[in-house]
Structure 1
Amino acid sequence: MGLRRKSREFALQFLFSHDFQGRSRAPEDVDRDVELFCRFFDVSEKSQGYGKELIHGICAHGDAIDTLLAEHSHNWRVERMSLVDRNILRIAVYEMQHCDQAPAQVAINEALEIAKRYSIGESVAFINGILDAVQASLTTE
Structure 2
Amino acid sequence: MDDEVKPAKRASQRRENRMFAIQFLYQWELNKPEQLNDALRVFVETKEEAREYYAFAEELIHGVIEHIDAVDEQIKVHAANWTFDRIAKVDLSVLRLAIYELLQRRDIPPIVSINEAIELGKIFSNPDSKRFINGILDQMKNKIDRPLRSAAE
Q: Is TM (by shorter chain) over 0.5?
A: yes
Counterpart of 1:120, as a letter, is N
Cα distance, 1:10 vs structure 2: 0.3
Name the larger-Rg structure.
2
Report how far residue 4 of structure 1 moved. 0.6
Task: Indicate the residue corresponding to 1:116 in structure 2.
Answer: 122
Q: In the alignment, which residue of structure 2 is the partner of 1:127?
A: 133
Question: Which residue of 1 is the match for residue 108 of structure 2?
Answer: 102
State the Cα distance separating 1:100 from its structure 2 match. Answer: 2.0
* Structure 1: unaligned runs, 5 residues or longer: none
Residue 17 of structure 2 corresponds to 7
User: 1:47/1:85 Cα in 2 relative to 1: closer, same or farther (>3 Å)?
Assistant: farther
Of all paired residues, the percent bearing the same amino acid is 34
CA distance in 2, matches of 1:61, 1:135: 19
Where does the alignment leave 5 or more consecutive residues of structure 2 unmatched?
Answer: 1-10, 147-153
2:60 corresponds to 1:50? no
Matching residue's letter, 2:47: D
Deviation at 1:77, TM superposition (A): 2.1
Matched, 1:65 2:71: yes
How far has the Cα of 1:106 moved from its partner? 0.5
Structure that is richer in helix per residue: 1
Taking the aligned partners of 1:139 and 1:50, their CA distance within structure 2 comes to 24
Contact 1:6 1:47 survives alignment (8 Å): no
Per-residue CA distance 1:58-81 (angstroms, 9 max, x = gap): 000001100011001101122211
Whole-angstrom CA distance in 1 between matches of 2:143 and 2:83 = 19
Q: Provide the residue aligned with 2:85 in structure 1.
A: 79
CA RMSD of aligned residues (A): 1.6
Q: Hey, what's the Cα distance between the residues in 2 that align with 1:54 and 1:43?
A: 20
Matched, 1:90 2:101: no
